[in-house]
Structure 1
Amino acid sequence: MSVLIAIPARYASTRYPGKPLVPLVGASGTTMTLIERSWRAAKAVSGVDRVVVATDDDRIREVAEGFGAEVVMTSTTCANGTERCAEAHEKLGGGYEIVVNLQGDAPLTPAWFVEDLVTGLRAAPDAGVATPVLRCDGGALNSLLNDRRHGRVGGTTAVFAADHGALYFSKEVIPFTSQTYGDTDPTPVFHHVGVYAYRPDALRAYPGWPTGPLETLEGLEQLRFMENGRKVLCVEVESRGRQFWELNNPQDVPKIEEMMAAMGLD
């Protein structure tokens, strides 16, 4: 099955304008923009036929083409990354059997997260979209809770059924637990990793659906699939010792740089 990775990137982020062009310093002092680090993460995934950056901004296009990325220009009316991926897929001829949305704010995404995601979607013909989830240890859970206590939107959490069909995604920390966990203790909370794999029919249908109340309240694009009765498969992935965090706020820059330094990632 042919696989396309599209990296949606927009300049006018509400929480962090210009985020794709923010510089991040690696373990040995090498500085690269967020979009370049996300592109390099995509290029490291095996079994992928094509990687493109999908944007509506010439500043991002110029930077991306400067480091060798293929760029697909999309309209300014795309409401989110899924709509941008849908438009990019159609502009490329719509011939891919799986389209992966590797969002441009997740440069620490390991290749096996995406590889396991594609494998999971292939094995679940009843699902139109799949997304990875990572069980939080106590340290990750406490980081999520600390963000919420300080009024910051950190990571998204997910709850799912026995067949791994998603029940809900939230920017709040769900499910609630009153227990205290040590930094390395496993917890019942799953961090949603901001990557999606779509079957083309589900991706084509998505832009035509109205934005529902849950998507509006949470600001989470994957809820539109669920509000329209499409199964979202949660694929559990393993960290294998890698730290993971998304760049959502300016405060996340030093956190991600510290993680890259600790893991020796340049």
Structure 2
Amino acid sequence: MVIPARYGSTRLPGKPLVLIAGRTLLSRVIVIAREGAARVGNAEVVVATDDPRILDHACELGCAAVMTDSAITSGSGRAWAVARGRTVPPPIVVNLQGDAPFAAPGMIAALIAALRDSPCGVATPVVQLDWAALDALRAHKLASPFSGTTCVRRADDRALWFSKTVLPAIRDEARLRGMGELSPVFRHIGLYAYRFAALQGFEQTAPTPYEVLEGLEQLRFLETGEDILTVAVAPPRHAMSGIDTPEDVAMAEALIAEHGEPHLSWT
């Protein structure tokens, strides 16, 4: 299990070391990874970074960490750098984005189980938003338009598309709101499980046009014909997208203030 953690975020420099309610973002994600690894069994947690400050902090937290090439720009690329360096190639590589402090550890086990039972090369979780959560996402995007990713899915749960835009557009929304509490919008959660071969193929392919436009690396898989299995999971209590901006940090701290810490060991 790899946690990519770059220092040079454009919108939030030094993001892995940013404090959220007194704990660094990286420390929060490491706790999630460790709990998820314990549920899966026989899984290693490694931080993949490009900066010695992040490497040192990971070591302080007692987590394995490796330096990766600063030229790598994607989380998938850092996951591949770690996976290919293993003596025995792992059959499945989990990429837990380093900016997802509220991902549920149970999602990791569910994702690996789903991928093992599927012919797809990649699996990732999504949450179907209720109308209140959709309203909150739309409001958040007024201040941070590139924070938060939505997913459109096929009937067989394979992804059709991911976007920083809220998809799909909803015609006759008032009528749909009266039909049930769930909207047709799925929010993507920044967690991936890859088969080793799929991750290798990703790294051997140049960035694709829509990947570059949206800033979403998973679009490279779709643009090159690799199926992504989406796994619907229950919404976490602390429901928000990843940490990309100072506004996201404030939102995360507000959620912690409202709901408490997401892990019992921190209370």
TM-score relative to the length of structure 2? 0.90
* 1:35 corresponding residue in structure 2: 26
Mapped to 1, the partners of 2:204 and 2:73 lie a distance apart of 12
Superposition map of 1:45-64 within 5 A = 45=36, 46-48=39-41, 49-64=43-58
Superposition map of 1:184-199 within 5 A = 185-199=181-195
Superposition map of 1:243-258 within 5 A = 243-258=239-254
Q: Name the Cα RMSD after superposition.
A: 1.7
* Structure 2 alignment gaps of length 5 or more: none
Post-superposition Cα deviations, 1:187-223, rounded to whole Å, max 9, x if no partner, equal 1000000100000001111111011111011010001
2:61 aligned partner, one-letter code: F
> How many Å apart are 1:16 and its aligned residue?
1.2
Runs (4+) of structure 1 exceeding 6 A deviation are none
> How many Å apart are 1:175 and its aligned residue?
0.4
Post-superposition Cα deviations, 1:162-187, rounded to whole Å, max 9, x if no partner, equal 111110000000001242559x9311
TM-score relative to the length of structure 1? 0.91
> How many Å apart are 1:150 and its aligned residue?
3.5
> How many Å apart are 1:260 and its aligned residue?
2.1
- The change in CA–CA distance for 1:85 and 1:240 in structure 2 (over 3 A counts) is closer
- Are positions 1:116 and 2:105 aligned together? no
Mapped to 2, the partners of 1:127 and 1:231 lie a distance apart of 5
Kept in 2: contact 1:64–1:71 (CA 8 A): yes
Mapped to 1, the partners of 2:19 and 2:95 lie a distance apart of 22
- Are positions 1:144 and 2:126 aligned together? no
> How many Å apart are 1:8 and its aligned residue?
0.2
Superposition map of 1:72-221 within 5 A = 72-124=66-118, 126-150=119-143, 152-178=145-171, 179-180=173-174, 185-221=181-217
* 1:234 corresponding residue in structure 2: 230
2:109 aligned partner, one-letter code: E
Higher helix share goes to which structure?
2
Give percent identity, aligned residues only.
41
> How many Å apart are 1:72 and its aligned residue?
1.5
Q: 134-143 or 196-205, which moves further after superposition? A: 134-143
2:58 aligned partner, one-letter code: A
Kept in 2: contact 1:55–1:71 (CA 8 A): yes
Mapped to 2, the partners of 1:245 and 1:152 lie a distance apart of 12
Kept in 1: contact 2:94–2:191 (CA 8 A): yes
